[in-house]
Structure 1
């Protein structure tokens, strides 16, 4: 199973940037152009913050660009919601986030199940409206446990926006992740989940949750640079995506793809220590 994993496209209204000093649509086009030579991709997973403004127009742009690219590969696309997304507009354009879900979570939250070549893909909705951090809640965790109660052919790929792991170097990432990671760990412990895919942090990160590998892919719109001074945060230009390979002897394997950009590594925004502390207190 070979998965192309993208996240955090942050598409705004037509012709607008993502409010981060970057033209988000141009960044998405750039990374897709760099990925055009990829072959044998079985699925595309996009883990949230598709839209920066939550507009139907933005989701339509995402669907046209990523959907068109995936069709050229003959691969289905699975989308999750992120903290910048709006469930109503997401549903209007992308439905459950799956092209043909075999199962969906009842209600407004976007969670669904599909199967590709014997692998089960489960997307979860970790969005808490108005907040940067994520939470699944008892209802979605109960639904996940029920889904995982029946093993799939080769295993399950679980995708959500907010990572259930964090990096101690980043002050903000420890606050902005998944608040009920312990509940998710209990839900997947001993199940056939082979990997958890997430985004949100705009940086690449690998760890484990209940002995299951967790992969956080860097953002398409920009990347967070952890070489900034302690207590500060810097985002730099550089559209990125990941290739994830499952099922082989050495798997899972994770490879980050950085699109070639002559302005890569230029700072697009910086948060000083005071502003970082304010954000943590505001969102904590």
Structure 2
């Protein structure tokens, strides 16, 4: 199973440079162009913050750009919500988030909770893809509700032929960094209790705009770097810097040495230029407001 994993595209309806001078649409186009040589792609996963402000036009643009790439590869597309996304607009354009290579709905099972959360299941060549909704409206951190966790427990009760892949936005692992500790998935131990001893082979997430690997309940967790920019933590403690450069990942499961996780970086002459810097006071403010 070869998965192209993207995250944090942050498209907006204007398709123009944002306040930091970064054109998110151009970043996605550049990344997809660099990935065109990849062969044997079985699935494409995009783990949230698809739209920067939750606009339907942004979701339509992402559907078209990623959809064109998917049609060339013949791979289905699995998309999740992130903290910048808006559930109603996401659903209006992308449905369950599980799409065929031609852009039609393909989810086999869909959870729609009373509060609007959406989770879904699809199977590709014996591999079960489960997308979850970690969005907490108006907040930067994420959470998986008891409704979703109970539903996931039932889904995992019967193993898939090859195993299960979970995808959602907020990482359940963190570095010892203030923003990650506050902005990640709350109560990851609850998810750990659900997946421990099951057929879950990998958890795919985004949100941090940098690559990170760890384990939750002995299950590999991969955080793919962002498409719109990358976070560079070679900064003084309590600060953070975003740099230009679109990135994505290739995840290989089921092989003799798997799982394998590999990152791609689009060739951009402006790569590594600073997009923005967060000083100690700004980081402290973000942490206090979202703690």
TM-score normalized with structure 1 length: 0.98
Q: Which residue, out of 134, 139, 142, partners 2:142? A: 134
* Cα contact 2:15–2:24 (8 A) shared by 1: no
Map of 1:276 onto structure 2:
283
Distance (whole Å) between structure 1 residues aligned to residue 194 and residue 242 of structure 2: 34
Deviation at 1:19, TM superposition (A): 3.9
Distance (whole Å) between structure 1 residues aligned to residue 93 and residue 16 of structure 2: 20
Q: Secondary structure at the match of 2:67?
A: helix
Distance (whole Å) between structure 2 residues aligned to residue 15 and residue 191 of structure 1: 42
* Cα contact 2:3–2:43 (8 A) shared by 1: yes
Map of 1:261 onto structure 2:
268
Distance (whole Å) between structure 2 residues aligned to residue 194 and residue 79 of structure 1: 18
Change (3 A) 1:39 1:280: same
Q: How does 1:54-93 map to 2 (within 5 A)?
A: 54-93=54-93
Distance (whole Å) between structure 2 residues aligned to residue 2 and residue 15 of structure 1: 30
* Cα contact 1:11–1:18 (8 A) shared by 2: no
Distance (whole Å) between structure 1 residues aligned to residue 131 and residue 82 of structure 2: 12
Matched, 1:32 2:39: no
Map of 1:217 onto structure 2:
224
Count the aligned residue pairs: 283
Q: Secondary structure at the match of 2:98?
A: coil
Give structure 2 stretches of 5+ with no counterpart.
100-105
TM-score normalized with structure 2 length: 0.96
Deviation at 1:281, TM superposition (A): 0.1
Deviation at 1:180, TM superposition (A): 1.9
Distance (whole Å) between structure 2 residues aligned to residue 187 and residue 206 of structure 1: 20
1:4-58, CA deviations, whole angstroms, 9 ceiling, x for partnerless residues? 0000000012233344431000000000000000000000000000000100000
Q: Secondary structure at the match of 1:21?
A: coil
Q: Secondary structure at the match of 1:172?
A: helix
* Cα contact 1:18–1:52 (8 A) shared by 2: no
Q: Secondary structure at the match of 2:251?
A: strand
Distance (whole Å) between structure 2 residues aligned to residue 15 and residue 9 of structure 1: 12
Deviation at 1:109, TM superposition (A): 1.1
Deviation at 1:67, TM superposition (A): 1.1
* Cα contact 2:202–2:220 (8 A) shared by 1: yes
Q: Which residue, out of 108, 112, 131, partners 1:106? A: 112
Q: Secondary structure at the match of 2:178?
A: coil
Q: Which residue, out of 153, 165, 168, partners 2:161? A: 153
Map of 2:103 onto structure 1:
none
Q: Secondary structure at the match of 1:244?
A: strand
Q: Which residue, out of 171, 185, 193, partners 1:186? A: 193
Q: CA RMSD in A?
A: 0.8
* Cα contact 1:10–1:18 (8 A) shared by 2: no
